[in-house]
Amino acid sequence: MEKITVMLGKRSYPIIIGSSLFENDSIFYPLQSGEQAMLVTNKTLANLWKDQLLYELRKSGIKVDQVILSDGEQYKTFNETEVIISALLDKQHSRDTTLIALGGGVIGDITGFAASIYQRGVRFIQIPTTFLSQVDASVGGKTGVNHILGKNMIGTFWQPSSVIINLNYLSTLSTNELVAGLAEVIKYAIIFDEEFFSWVEDNLHLLLILQEKEIIYCIKKCCEIKSKIISLDEREANIRAILNLGHTYGHAIESHSGYGNWLHGEAVSVGIVMSARTSEMLGYLKRIDTKRIINLLMRAGLPTKGPKNMPPSSYLPYIMRDKKVISGTVRLILPINIGKAKIQTGVDKNIILAAIKESQ
């Protein structure tokens, strides 16, 4: 079992990584015997993991209710948030309750959002079940729901009380879901650590077959990087924005295509390519590094070209509504070389369009 601490003063919390974690009675920290909790999951995961988790929670003396949501990015909405709130009220959950998110990024975001607004804020625990949520989405306290005009436009910063990363859950992922998580892994390597990028290049085949030693190292590395950034800039006032490499373009793809038609990691992969091409056109990133990035994404099985039915001009309205836009000025996260990225303001729209066109 590996443990990392996200350092946020009195709101610091542990990230625990390992297999068969629920055999440890104290794993559900800060929940204690006799306390109340609400498990939130989706219909797919309810059939796979819900009963086992309920058994372990109740064995630990926790009084737990449950709410089961629809499965998919298209259900990351206010309506599903209201389902959680209604269940909490119906079961008379008070301000000392704890929500438990069992699922990927969608469940984690909705549950965290509900926790942040129920009676002005209650505790919640993240138990991520997808590779993408284990390496990225479950850590950092970003919560929210989508809007028809933009992804993640409604939400809060609300940190979990703990993150429990159980490797056993990865065994039921489809290949597409596993591969989608690799986009975020590669993102971290591009932004912060060329040595880690080389490690991913060398160990990609072991990650794809869920070799435990390599999976643990990979998840821990990503969580360590994100934890450090969050402790420096919890609410994305400056440096935390750099974690959004590929997301400005990627969110445009998700929003335009209809939520759920592209997996988040797939869209981010294309967004990384578009960001790399933008950087290259501005004279920052060397072509050899762009090719190296694209090659690794392709080897992982990730897409590197945007939707054929999405012309470059259709990206711009979404880019202009991106959360990193300040006073009408676009801010893009661009790789400068493998292992370093920067926040770039004032990129000419013609360069943005050219980078998108080259990635179609």
Catalytic, 350? Answer: no
Question: How is the chain split into domains, by residue range?
Answer: 2-172, 180-358
Mode of pairing for the β-strands spanning 162-166 and 2-6: unpaired
Catalytic, 93? Answer: no
Whether 267 shows a pLDDT value over 80: the answer reads yes
Q: Which residue is catalytic, options 76, 93, 123, 142?
A: 142
Q: Which residue is catalytic, options 123, 151, 187, 264?
A: 264
Architecture (CATH level 2) of domain 180-358: Up-down Bundle (1.20)
Architecture (CATH level 2) of domain 2-172: 3-Layer(aba) Sandwich (3.40)
Catalytic, 236? Answer: yes
Cα 316 to Cα 300: distance, rounded to the nearest angstrom: 28
Q: Report pLDDT for 124.
A: 98
Whether 344 shows a pLDDT value over 90: the answer reads yes
Q: Which residue is catalytic, options 73, 80, 214, 236?
A: 236
Per residue in 196-229, pLDDT (tens digit) is 999 999 999 999 999 999 999 999 999 999 999 9
Q: Which residue is catalytic, options 93, 251, 256, 277?
A: 251
Q: Report pLDDT for 301.
A: 98
Average model confidence (pLDDT) for the chain?
96
Whether 2 shows a pLDDT value over 90: the answer reads yes
Cα 161 to Cα 12: distance, rounded to the nearest angstrom: 8
pLDDT band at 324 (very low <50, low <70, confident <90, very high): confident
Catalytic, 240? Answer: yes
Q: Report pLDDT for 216.
A: 97
Mean pLDDT of 261-266: 96
Q: Which residue is catalytic, options 10, 120, 213, 308?
A: 120
pLDDT band at 358 (very low <50, low <70, confident <90, very high): very high
Catalytic, 147? Answer: no
Catalytic, 244? Answer: yes
Q: Which residue is catalytic, options 240, 286, 299, 357?
A: 240
HEC string of the chain equals CEEEEECCHHHCEEEEEECCHHHCHHHHCCCCCCCEEEEEEEHHHHHHHHHHHHHHHHHCCCEEEEEEECCCHHHCCHHHHHHHHHHHHHCCCCCCCEEEEEECHHHHHHHHHHHHHHHHCCEEEEEECCHHHHHHHCCCCEEEEEECCEEEEEEEECCCCEEEEEHHHHHHCCHHHHHHHHHHHHHHHHHHCHHHHHHHHHHHHHHHCCCHHHHHHHHHHHHHHHHHHHHHCCCCCCHHHHHHCCHHHHHHHHHHHCCCCCCHHHHHHHHHHHHHHHHHHCCCCCHHHHHHHHHHHHHHCCCCCCCCCCCHHHHHHHHHCCCCCECCECEEEEEEECCEEEEEECCCHHHHHHHHHHCC
pLDDT band at 90 (very low <50, low <70, confident <90, very high): very high
Whether 327 shows a pLDDT value over 80: the answer reads no
Mean pLDDT of 298-325: 94
Per residue in 6-50, pLDDT (tens digit) is 999 999 999 999 998 987 778 998 999 999 999 999 999 999 999
Cα 310 to Cα 318: distance, rounded to the nearest angstrom: 12
Whether 326 shows a pLDDT value over 90: the answer reads no
Angle at 347 between CA 346 and CA 353, to 5 degrees: 145
Catalytic, 184? Answer: yes
Q: Report pLDDT for 20.
A: 86
Whether 323 shows a pLDDT value over 90: the answer reads no
